[in-house]
Amino acid sequence: SVPLISGGKMQWAARENQRSIADYIKPSPVQALAAIAAAKLQTEIPALQAATMLYEQDQIQSVYRELATEDGRVVVFEDSTGGITAVKNAVKMLNSSGLTMNGTGYGVSDEVSKQKALHAVADNVFSDINSALNHFFETTGS
């Protein structure tokens, strides 16, 4: 199974920390921080806890340190400006905590108006996910 950092999980985290869900979902960095941690940990609750500890208490957890020493690269493929902004804010927060991380946002939408908005926050914008993935693999050699 793949860990999912959904709105419901963010609602749980917000309740655990006496916050509103609006404090934790995009464009807030919390959901992105949790997703980054979940990608490494492959579990949701510890990832949510790591994210909220960094956001609420400025306490960086080992999962983020491990990611920074591995590749330090965070890539998001997103159809919303809020999602890309959240990931970029999460990377900034991690870097402010002394890590060296790089964030890249791929905007994906076939709607011209959305593409225009995505250009303001994304590093690259594509009309479909396959084109975005092809570009990612071609440019990174991954």
Write out pLDDT tens, residues 15-59: 999 999 999 998 899 999 999 999 999 999 999 999 999 999 999
Position 71 scores a pLDDT of 79
In whole angstroms, give the CA distance from residue 103 to residue 141.
17
DSSP codes joined into one string, 63-98: HHHHHHHHT-EEEEEESSHHHHHHHHHHHHHHHHTT
Write out pLDDT tens, residues 54-75: 999 999 999 998 888 877 899 9
Starting at the earlier edge strand, list the strands of the sheet with 73-78. 73-78, 102-108, 124-126
In whole angstroms, give the CA distance from residue 4 to residue 38.
8
